[in-house]
Homo-oligomer: A and B are copies of this chain.
Amino acid sequence: MRSIRWDEESRKLMIINQLALPAELRCLEVGSYTDIMEALESRAVDGASALAVCGAFALYFAASEAEMREPTALRESVCAAREQLMRLLPNAVNLRALTAGILRRAQTFEGGAQELPAFYLQQALAAAEQDLEASLSIARNGAELLHDGDEILLYGNTGALAGVDYGTAMGVVRWAYEQGKRVHVYMAETRPRLQGSKLSAWELEQYGIPYDVIVDAAAGYLLKAGKVDKVLFGAQRVAANGDVINHIGTYMLALAAYDNGVPAYAAFPLACVDFDSPSAGHASLEESDPSEVLSIRYYDSATAPKSSRARNFTLDITSQRLLSGLITDRGVLYPPFFRNLTVLKQYGRDE
């Protein structure tokens, strides 16, 4: 199973439609720039790595649809497409880095306008391949931390659906399970969009990993009761000191783990680290559509009075002091995170 797969024959990108899960496994067939922007906007695809890879394909579609006969004009048209992407997803730092790298390389591409689309496609395919490799490295590196019999608390959408395959935090658990370690997962439902119960629980079912869904607010109880050995989550963006910007609720979860001496790990590819931000203290965070809080989305079930107002905070910041380690594609890092992340960075980073 690949969540995002290029079909050479139809020249379409096949994306598992997250909106149809868990009821149905259905693919979106994405054949144009409009299609992919719709998929991103509707959140049919979500997860930092999945968004980045789709963004790379968005550049390809933009290039293939541009009618410019001149390479510079075509490149400018792809640039405009990228700006539209970044307006839609301002916090997607690896999408930003990945697409910036592609544009940079396109600058030095020496072919004509007719050959540029194929160049962008090759870049997007390479990005997908690199994402899969990073996920597999995260999974292998993190699986070392898990022991036979571990009770693991997972948060958010961090499996295959969050990238091309394997993902981040859930990939770690999946690798450990495939190694024969008997683990059990407490899967937090992850309100408001319920990625935990709708997507991650569905994935855990596919892999045969035993799990129980819990409400997000139950994590503290489980941690305090000594029922959890490790807490794992992903990261949408990481500051240079290890502060993690991730799905709303990550901070409370990491804090409760810390308060009970249970190790908490963020798992992410090094590409998620924003080395220009020394800490995440003053990050400006997105707010999403309030209707997600007032209903169980895609089921049209109101959960509050019709006239009721809501705020839908999307992300929060988890201070690095609450984290035991960072599981990356370049190895597991321990404090001091600033020094250790910087060292990794200096030892090279693909782009």
Complex contact A215–B197 (CB within 8 A): no
Which of A80-88, A91-99, A175-183, A297-305 contacts the other chain?
Answer: A297-305
- Interface mask (A291-332 → B, CB under 8 Å = 1, otherwise 0): 001101001011111111111110111000000000000000
Contact of A215 among B248, B285, B302 (CB under 8 A): B248
Residues 226-250 of A contacting B (Cβ, < 8 Å): 248-249
Q: How far is the CB of A307 from chain B (nearest CB, A)?
A: 6
Could you say which residues of chain B place their CB within 8 Å of the CB of A6? none
Complex Cα spacing A214 to B224, Å? 24
| Docked-complex contact A252 and B248, CB < 8 angstroms | no
Residue of B nearest to A21 (CB): B305
Select one of B220, B313, B316 contacting A249, CB under 8 A.
Answer: B220
**Are B213 and A294 in contact (CB-based, < 8 A)?**
yes
Chain B's nearest CB lies how many Å from the CB of A157? 13
Complex Cα–Cα for A321 and B39 (A): 47
Question: Which residues from chain B contact A186 at a C-beta distance below 8 Å?
Answer: 311
- The reply to whether A220 and B316 form a contact with Cβ atoms under 8 Å apart is yes
CA distance A342 to B205 in the complex (A): 52
A219 touches B252 (CB 8 A): yes
Q: Which of A192, A311, A317 has the most CB of B within 10 A?
A: A311
A186 CB to nearest B CB, Å: 7
B197, A303: Cβ atoms closer than 8 Å? yes
Whether a CB of chain B sits under 8 angstroms from the CB of A31 is no
Q: Is the C-beta of A201 less than 8 angstroms from some C-beta in chain B?
A: yes
Is the pair B305, A22 in contact by a Cβ cutoff of 8 Å? yes
Residues of chain B within 8 A of A192, CB atoms compared: 215
A interface with B by C-beta (< 8 Å): 22-23, 186, 189-192, 194, 197-198, 201-202, 205, 211-222, 224, 248-249, 251-253, 255-256, 259, 285, 290, 293-294, 296, 299, 301-313, 315-317
A sample of 28 cross-chain residue pairs with beta-carbon separation below 8 angstroms, ordered by A number, consists of: A191-B215, A191-B217, A192-B215, A197-B294, A197-B308, A202-B304, A205-B305, A205-B307, A213-B293, A213-B294, A214-B293, A214-B310, A214-B312, A214-B313, A215-B248, A215-B249, A215-B312, A216-B249, A219-B252, A220-B251, A221-B251, A221-B313, A221-B315, A222-B313, A224-B251, A224-B317, A252-B255, A255-B256
- Known A-B contacts: A22-B304, A213-B310, A218-B249. Give 9 more (CB < 8 A): A22-B306, A191-B216, A212-B309, A212-B311, A217-B248, A220-B255, A221-B315, A251-B256, A299-B302
